Amino acid sequence: MINRAEAIRPFYVMEIMARAQRRPAEAPEVVSMVVGEPDFPTPAPIVRAAREALDDNRIRYTHALGLDELRQAIAQDYQDRDQINLPAHRIGVTAGASAGLLLSLAAVLSPGDELLVPDPGYPCNRQFALAVGAIPKRLATHAEHNYQPSLEAIQQAWGPKTRAVLIASPANPTGAILELKTIQAISEWVRSKGGWLIMDEIYLRLSLQEPLYSALTVSNDIISVNSFSKTYSMTGWRLGWVVIPEALVGVMERLAQNLFISPPFLSQKAAIAAFSPDARAIADGYRDQFLRQSKVLLPGLEALGFRLPVQPAGGFYGFFDVSGLTDDSFRFCEELCDQAGVLMAPGRDFTEDHAQSMIRVSFPKSEPVLQEGLRRIQAFLARRSCIGRAV
């Protein structure tokens, strides 16, 4: 029998990044389109708050679910943006959205339970389920349905061991969103089966079209996971949160006490400032820049033969079909890294359907960097074409 740890698959994005580090020292700096990390600095009010906390030099444990002041600030933000009245005790601050997802799955799944996981999707979600002894059950989605599951698809996939479904909106790697009316219908049906709907909303504030509203506007029983990483350019601060249904607050608190003790104090003190008008204005400016960057990279890649089945509506990814360029997207990513110094994420991380045909591209980089990446890819493809003709 394969033990739980041995069942965990590699995260191939990280393998591409490690490969880039092995390039010769004299090689040009890489153009990274592989990881979902904004190039922008953390907004100054947040950094200033961290400095003040360091100067105070009282870095201590906090409540297992976070500082009261931060939980209240998060709850107020939902009131301001989504018109949702959330009590602060239902906010659980976590060491990044990853910890929030892990806590959520540990709270509602027992060994042998099934979790419905849309495909394509964020690869670590499957591994989180395995880590708590549950079984990730693939829920195939398709471009013609905007890479999002329908209620009917969930009903058909739901089995006697299914206990929860995890949906991202906007989604990674596709940037696709799920309409609130569909979320409401799914939530009501899942609750009727005694299950849980978990929403990954870490890209909620990074809409590339009209403003989006949290799934919490349609149901109090949804578990919603969010993060400071993407919206506020705080990836290395490792801070996120979960909006917890009332029935699970005690469970989540006990799990957090035992697994994490508490979220990092310094990051929490800094994050309180994320909700100041100045920090929010900076973050909104970042979102607007992501939109401009998408208009540089996505059509630029399409002009080079990358096909985009679904235009992203949120986040900062494009999920491209490269079957016209290669029959092995992982090898294609390795060659791009080695020969062009451009990093992209292979489809095998995100999907089991046509994985060798798909690539995820991330665009939260400056426009000159993206333009340089396009230039290198064009030259790389031209060299491959010449080699092919010579053969």
Whether residue 109 is found in the same domain as residue 240 = yes
Residue 13's pLDDT band (cuts 50, 70, 90) = confident
Given the structure tokens 């592989």, which residue do they identify?
Answer: 34
Given a contact cutoff of 8 angstroms between Cβ atoms, the answer to whether 304 and 374 are in contact is yes
Q: What is the mean pLDDT of residues 348-370?
A: 94
Q: What is the mean pLDDT of residues 258-285?
A: 97
Whether residue 10 is found in the same domain as residue 78 = no
Q: What pLDDT sits at residue 10?
A: 67
State which of 276, 308, 323 marks the end of a domain.
276
Question: The domain containing residue 219 runs over which residues?
Answer: 46-276
In a domain, 83, yes or no: yes
**DSSP per-residue letters across 19-67:** HHHTS-TTSPPPEE-SS---SSPPPHHHHHHHHHHHHHT------TT--
Q: What pLDDT sits at residue 15?
A: 86
Beta bridge partners of 118: 139
pLDDT tens digits, residue range 168-178? 999 999 999 99
Whether residue 200 is found in the same domain as residue 248 = yes
pLDDT surpassing 70 at residue 4: no
Whether residue 241 is found in the same domain as residue 156 = yes
In a domain, 213, yes or no: yes
Q: What pLDDT sits at residue 3?
A: 63
pLDDT tens digits, residue range 193-207? 999 999 999 999 999
CA distance 107 to 117: 17
Whether residue 173 is found in the same domain as residue 228 = yes
Q: What is the mean pLDDT of residues 32-48?
A: 94
Q: What is the mean pLDDT of residues 302-315?
A: 97
What amino acid occupies position 10? P
CA dihedral 258, 231, 203, 37 (to 10 degrees): -90
In a domain, 284, yes or no: yes
In a domain, 267, yes or no: yes
If you ran DSSP here, which 8-state letter would residue 276 be given?
S
In a domain, 195, yes or no: yes
What is the count of structural domains for the chain?
A: 2
In a domain, 10, yes or no: yes
CA distance 154 to 295: 34
Terminal CA-CA length for the chain: 47
In a domain, 169, yes or no: yes
pLDDT tens digits, residue range 332-345? 999 999 999 999 99
pLDDT surpassing 60 at residue 294: yes
Whether residue 284 is found in the same domain as residue 272 = no
Whether residue 173 is found in the same domain as residue 58 = yes
State which of 250, 276, 302 marks the end of a domain.
276
pLDDT surpassing 80 at residue 84: yes
Q: What pLDDT sits at residue 216?
A: 98
Question: What average pLDDT is seen over the chain?
Answer: 94
136 three-class SS = strand
pLDDT surpassing 70 at residue 278: yes
Residue 11's pLDDT band (cuts 50, 70, 90) = confident
Whether residue 198 is found in the same domain as residue 324 = no
Whether residue 89 is found in the same domain as residue 140 = yes
Q: What pLDDT sits at residue 389?
A: 41
Can you give the CATH number for the domain in which 178 is found? 3.40.640.10
State which of 276, 304, 335 marks the end of a domain.
276
Whether residue 52 is found in the same domain as residue 37 = no
Those residues whose C-beta lies under 8 Å from the C-beta of residue 148, and which sit 6 or more positions away, are: 118, 141, 167, 169, 171, 176, 177, 178, 182
In a domain, 391, yes or no: no
Whether residue 331 is found in the same domain as residue 359 = yes
Whether residue 104 is found in the same domain as residue 234 = yes
Can you give the CATH number for the domain in which 11 is found? 3.90.1150.10
Those residues whose C-beta lies under 8 Å from the C-beta of residue 256, and which sit 6 or more positions away, are: 64, 65, 92, 94, 103, 262
pLDDT tens digits, residue range 128-146? 999 999 999 999 999 999 9
**In the chain, what percentage of residues exceed pLDDT 90?**
87
pLDDT surpassing 50 at residue 228: yes
